[in-house]
Chains A and B, each alone.
Chain A
């Protein structure tokens, strides 16, 4: 596997990256629009092993045309992907990179075709703890296990300068979800916690945040990674040398296949999963038993998946 990665990195071409392909269609218009509401968290970034969301490919067949597919999806997209594909296709030569946090979703039948990944951040915590960027798109899927107030009390330290980067979306992931109320509830909790001096950015422009540097700490409000595991802004801030206060998970106790730098301040770690669970097989049976329509844009499946993630904690 190491050889395959090394060869690919030295010889990759732009057509090996879905982010550089303008000729491919995404899975469905509804899904594309739903994920578009999560911009910039799902914005593209560069890595030779093809970081992408499953919805960017029209079908599994299209995915298999790429040597590597590094899935940036959170629990929901990966749960769906493996429920639909309990076994890899026979002709699969593609290596799939799956978030380490959700490795329990990988059926054993996939073992020859997967690596798990996580990110490693080397920036030091700023000594002064004075400058903090809180970012994310407020949605109910961000607060599956913690309430909004718990998030502030547990995760957000006092800081003199707080930047809040959160585009307001009227709709949530599903078009039936309205997020405005939750957004204002979040905003209220933030003002109560951090005061009225919070500097707000309601849309993302990289040049407006050019002041962020290694004196800043940053944190994603999304602690559950239901929709997105690998978000763009964590790369954006890490690349500027800011300190990630709450990295999702790290693979400290496993033998790495490879670690590759993504910036001077962070890297991606990849390893072979050392064990597999039968979680997805059990869930497949449950879904069938309860006649849940496995459809990424179905309300029932969305609620079911949220319950699954909640019960995993």
Chain B
């Protein structure tokens, strides 16, 4: 019987997808056999009030492994206290790595000393993230493996029953619905998506009864690494300026749905014909909404940027070439237009086949089976983070924009060094 401390914040994160991810990972851990799980609450408030109780809980539980499930707080804050005061703790340390890995070089660098010589496993959500994390680690034999974040089939599944979405939006029953769900944000390339969709309409390359549903809220994230900061309403205005260039009848082809609850999302996915995301968000390590859309059997049109490339599981998943440029990541717009038009031919594809492929890849049960293997496998002692982590950790100690060169306002050499594995090409 193995005993595992599952460390995560019992308070929900304000990062919506992470709330889902942690919840679903817990379900996969719950399915492990011959394992006793010890849930440990580790949240941001504790950083101010002290971690003695958490440290004592882990120490007293005498666990074999300590798993960091959540994306925050950073494990450094707990391990610093835990391992310093209790060097005798020898349990394996397992880190589920999130998209914010590249935001915390300084913290990982500081943690390095504590990790060296211990058994450490890094679990990433996608193939490209595995490659990215490996860049920072000295030994190529360090345990860095892929495990997709799971989807709970009780929440997202294929259901052919209509719940009247088309009626609600006064669309005919044969209309084609393309859906995007997630943050409506600069690096998600929503404005470009809308332009590509409406241009295809204008050129009559897609049927007149094709609609693009955008579910989510406009945000102010901008492009942190590229020195672009947005004020409230800035990205919405960019969207509005673009959409106003088109005639009224075309504007109507775009439906802004706002933020949709999980239960309603299921209905929207099941009534849609395809899912589209042209995101090149710098930390798109996975793509929870893509995983959920795939679970519901939707054909996918994605960029091949970062974690999205791991979703290209069937012939009904298309990946658009992504590039690194001196101004940040982008994608091939001509290719996206072409694939959007091609997508029309597969919108009535076999959703069951698609859903089955995703079930096999990322249902809580499938993930649990892979997890069982990873947990059981032995690993070598951690030999430390390499020069790249130390270079970037030191820069991060002085400034936020580690990948940006202020004088020429372009991305710097570190950007290419780290993110080249997320793109399919460099320009």
Chain A residues at the B interface, C-beta cutoff of 8 Å: 9-10, 19, 43-48, 206-208, 210, 213-214, 232, 235-236, 239-241, 260-264
Q: Collect the chain B residues with CB atoms within 8 Å of residue A207's CB.
A: 14
A sample of 30 inter-chain contacts (CB < 8 A) reads A9-B241, A19-B231, A44-B231, A44-B232, A45-B232, A46-B232, A46-B233, A46-B237, A48-B237, A207-B14, A208-B14, A210-B16, A213-B258, A213-B259, A214-B258, A235-B232, A235-B233, A236-B232, A239-B218, A239-B232, A239-B236, A240-B259, A262-B233, A262-B236, A262-B237, A263-B218, A263-B233, A263-B236, A264-B256, A264-B258
List B residues 1-17 near A (Cβ within 8 Å).
Answer: 14, 16
Whether A232 contacts B232 in the complex (CB less than 8 A), given A239-B218, A264-B258, comes out as yes
Question: Per-residue 0/1 for B215-230: is the Cβ within 8 Å of any A Cβ (1 yes, 0 no)?
Answer: 0011010000000001
Number of A-B pairs, beta carbon distance below 8 Å = 52
Q: Smallest Cβ distance from B37 to chain A, in angstroms? A: 28
B interface size (C-beta, 8 A): 17
Closest to A240 in B: B217
A206 to B236, CA, bound (A): 17
Enumerate B226-248 residues with CB–CB distance to A below 8 Å. 230-234, 236-237, 240-241
Closest CB-CB distance, A53 to chain B, in whole Å? 14
For A239, list chain B residues within 8 Å (CB). Answer: 217-218, 232-233, 236
Report Cα–Cα, A98/B240, bound state, in Å.
Answer: 23
Taking the closest CB of chain A, its distance from the CB of B198, in whole angstroms, is: 17
Contacts from B to A (Cβ < 8 Å):
14, 16, 217-218, 220, 230-234, 236-237, 240-241, 256, 258-259
Given known A9-B241, A210-B14, contact A45–B231 (CB-CB < 8 A) = yes
Nearest to B232 among chain A residues (CB) is A45
| Complex alpha-carbon distance, A48 and B231, angstroms | 12
| Interface-centre pick from A44, A46, A213, A260 (highest chain B CB count, 10 A) | A46
- Contact indicator A241/B258 (Cβ below 8 Å): yes
Do B230 and A46 have beta carbons less than 8 Å apart? Answer: yes
In the complex, what's the smallest C-beta–C-beta distance from B77 to chain A, in angstroms? 19
When chains A and B are docked, how far (Å) is the Cα of A97 from the Cα of B93? Answer: 60
Closest-by-CB residue of A relative to B12 is A211
Q: Which residue of A lies closest to B15 (CB)?
A: A207
CA separation between A10 and B230, bound complex, in Å?
18
Q: Which residues of B contact A10 (CB under 8 A)?
A: 241
Nearest CB of chain B from residue A72's CB, rounded to whole Å: 13
| Docked CA distance A48–B233 (Å) | 10
CB distance from B251 to the nearest CB of A (A): 11
**B258 and A46 within 8 A (CB):** no
Q: Is the CB of A46 within 8 A of B231?
A: yes
A280 to B231, CA, bound (A): 34
| CB-based closest 7 A-B pairs | A46-B234, A207-B14, A46-B231, A45-B232, A46-B233, A264-B256, A210-B14
